[in-house]
Amino acid sequence: MQADRKRIERLLKTARGQIDGILRMVEEDRYCMDISAQVMAADAILRKVNQEIISAHMKGCVKAAILDGNGDEKIDELMAVVDKLTK
């Protein structure tokens, strides 16, 4: 993985902590909108992680493949991810 591993790990641990907190909130039957706000916060962190991973992939793997004349496969792979993100 080309992304900043320490940053990715820190963000994922933060998201895990938020998800654990959301689970506790559900178990405690907390107010729906408070739970929803925490779900959106965890989702934002996971989106940030994915953005950083995809960016590093484009700057590393995709760029190298294009420079080597083998970029079509990596571009197709990337477009499949973009398609999933836009659905």
Q: At 66, which CATH number?
A: 1.20.58.1000
Q: How many domains does the chain have?
A: 1
For residue 8, give both structure tokens: 């990715």
pLDDT of res. 87: 87
Q: What is the DSSP letter of 3?
A: S
The secondary structure element, H or E, covering residue 87 is none
Rounded mean pLDDT of 39-64? 94
Residue among 7, 42, 2 nearest 22 (CA): 42
pLDDT digits (tens, 9 = 90+) for 7-24: 999 999 999 999 999 999
pLDDT at 42: 97
> How high is the mean pLDDT of the chain?
94
Q: Which domain covers residue 75, as residue numbers?
A: 5-85
78 neighbors 57 (Cβ within 8 angstroms): yes
Q: What is the pTM of this model?
A: 0.84
